[in-house]
Homo-oligomer: A and B are copies of this chain.
Amino acid sequence: MGVGHSSVSLSLDPISIAAFTAKPKPKTSCFFNTHCKKSVFPTKKNSLFVGFSLKFESLKCGKVAGEMDTEKGIDVANKSILDFHGIDERLIRKMEFDALVWSSLHGLVVGDRNFQRSGQVPGVGMVHAPIALLPMSFPKSHWKQACELAPIFNELIDRVSLDGKFLQDSLSRTKKVDAFTSRLLDIHSKMLEMNKKEEIRLALHRADYMLDEKTKLLLQIELNTISSSFPGLGCLVTELHRTLLNEYGEDLGLDSKRIPSNTAVGQFSEALAKAWTEYNNPRAVALVVVQTEERNMYDQHWLCTMLKERHNVRTVRKTLAEIDREGQLLPDGTLLVDGQAIAVIYFRAGYAPTDYPSESEWRARLLMEQSSAIKCPSISYHLAGSKKIQQELAKPNMLERFLENKEDIVKLRKCFAGLWSLDDLDIIRKAIDKPELFVMKPQREGGGNNIYGNDVKETLLQLQKEGSEEDAAYILMQRIFPTVSPTILMRDGICHKEHAISELGIYSAYLSLGNQSRVLDSTNNLKCFSSRYTKKIYRFHFLSLLLAIWNNRSSHS
A interface residue numbers (CB < 8 A to B):
97, 99-107, 109, 112, 115, 117, 121-128, 247, 298, 301-302, 304-305, 308, 492-493
Tell me which residues across on chain B come within 8 A of A106, comparing CB atoms: 107
B305, A123: Cβ atoms closer than 8 Å:
no
Instruction: Determine whether the beta carbon of B492 is less than 8 Å from that of A104.
Output: no
Contact between A298 and B105, CB atoms less than 8 A apart: yes
Bound state CA distance, A102 and B298, in angstroms? 10
In the complex, are the beta carbons of A121 and B109 less than 8 A apart? no
**Other contacts beyond A100-B124, A101-B122, A125-B127: 12, CB < 8 A:** A101-B123, A102-B305, A104-B123, A105-B107, A105-B298, A105-B305, A109-B126, A112-B124, A112-B125, A123-B127, A124-B492, A126-B126
- Closest CB in chain B relative to A462 CB, distance in Å: 44
Which of A102, A112, A125, A492 has the most B CB atoms < 10 Å from its CB? A125
- B residues within 8 A CB of A115? 112, 115
Question: In the assembled complex, which residues on chain B have CB atoms less than 8 Å from the CB atom of A124?
Answer: 100, 112, 127-128, 492-493
Bound-complex Cα distance A103 to B107 (A): 9
State the Cβ distance, A234 to closest chain B Cβ, in Å.
Answer: 15
Given the complex of chains A and B, what is the CA–CA distance between A123 and B98 in angstroms? 10
What is the oligomeric copy number? Answer: 2
Distance, CA A387 to CA B94, complexed state (A): 39
A97: which of B103, B112, B122, B247 is its contact (CB, 8 Å)?
Answer: B122
A90 and chain B: residue at smallest CB distance: B338
Which residue from chain B places its CB closest to the CB of A99 in the assembled complex?
A: B123
Q: Kindly list chain B residues whose C-beta atoms are within 8 Å of the C-beta of A301.
A: 101, 104-105
Contact of A298 with B104 in the complex, beta carbons under 8 Å: yes
> Bound complex: CA of A304 vs CA of B301, how far in Å?
27
Bound form: Cα–Cα A305–B98 in Å = 9
Given contacts A112-B125, A123-B127, A125-B127, contact A117 B493 (CB under 8 A): yes
Contact of A122 among B100, B122, B298 (CB under 8 A): B100
Question: Given A127-B125, A127-B126, are A109 and B101 neighbors across the interface (CB < 8 Å)?
Answer: no
Ordered nearest first, which 5 A-B pairs have the shortest CB separation?
A100-B123, A123-B128, A105-B107, A126-B126, A121-B493
CB-CB under 8 A from A302, the residues of chain B are 105
List the B residue with the shortest CB-CB distance to A301: B101
Identify the interface centre among A124, A298, A305, A492: most chain B CB within 10 Å of its CB: A124
Contacts of A298 in B (CB 8 A): 104-105
Question: Distance in Å from the Cβ of A233 to the closest Cβ of chain B?
Answer: 11
CA gap between A493 and B125 in the complex, in Å: 10
Contacts of A99 in B (CB 8 A): 123
C-alpha gap A298/B101 in the complex (Å): 8
Residue ID in chain B nearest A111 by CB atoms: B104
Cβ of A122 to closest chain B Cβ, rounded Å: 4
What residue in chain B is nearest A308 (Cβ atoms)? B247
Closest residue on chain B to residue A317 by CB atoms: B97
Q: Which of A97, A123, A126, A308 has the most C-beta atoms of chain B within 10 angstroms of its own C-beta? A: A123
Docked Cα-Cα span, A103 to B97, in Å, equals: 21
What is the minimal beta-carbon distance from A143 to any residue of chain B, in angstroms?
28
Query: For residue A308, which residues in chain B have a CB less than 8 angstroms away from its CB?
Result: 247
Contact status B128-A100, CB under 8 Å: no
The CA-CA distance from A305 to B103 in the complex, in Å, is: 12
Chain B residues within an 8 Å CB radius of A103: 123
Report the Cα distance A127→B112, complex, angstroms.
Answer: 11
Bound Cα distance from A304 to B107, whole angstroms? 17
| A219 → B minimal CB distance (Å) | 35
Query: Smallest CB-CB separation from A305: which chain B residue?
Result: B105
Give A138 Cβ to nearest chain B Cβ, in Å.
26
Q: For residue A338, which residue of chain B has the nearest CB?
A: B90
A126 surroundings in chain B (CB, below 8 A): 104, 109, 126-127
B-chain residues with CB within 8 Å of residue A117 when the two chains form the complex: 493
CA distance A466 to B198 in the complex (A): 88
* Distance of A50 Cα from B105 Cα, bound (Å): 32
Looking across the interface, which residue of chain B has its beta carbon closest to that of A304? B101
The residue of chain B having its C-beta at the shortest distance from the C-beta of A494 within the complex is B121
CA–CA, A125 and B114, complex, Å: 9
Give A217 Cβ to nearest chain B Cβ, in Å: 38
Structural contact, A100 and B121, CB atoms closer than 8 A: yes
| Bound-state Cα–Cα, A99 to B301, Å | 12
Bound complex: CA of A123 vs CA of B493, how far in Å?
6
Q: Give, as a whole number of angstroms, the nearest-CB distance from A316 to chain B.
A: 10
**Which residues of the partner chain B approach A105 to less than 8 Å between Cβ atoms?**
107, 298, 301-302, 305
Q: A128: which B residues are within 8 A, CB to CB?
A: 122-124
Task: Provide the bound-state CA to CA distance between A125 and B128, in Å.
Answer: 9
Taken together as a complex, chains A and B put the C-alpha atoms of A128 and B102 apart, in Å, by 16
Taken together as a complex, chains A and B put the C-alpha atoms of A74 and B254 apart, in Å, by: 61
* Inter-subunit contact A122/B107 (CB<8 Å): no
For A247, the chain B residues whose CB sits under 8 A away are 308
Q: Which residues of B contact A102 (CB under 8 A)?
A: 305
User: What is the distance, in angstroms, from A216's C-beta to the closest C-beta of chain B?
Assistant: 37
How many angstroms between the C-alpha atoms of A124 and B102 in the bound complex? 12
Residues of B within 8 A of A112 (CB): 115, 124-125
Q: How far is the CA of A103 from the CA of B106 in the complex (A)?
A: 10
CB distance from A108 to the nearest CB of B (A): 9
| A195, B99: Cα distance in complex, Å | 44
Determine whether the beta carbon of B107 is less than 8 Å from that of A104: yes
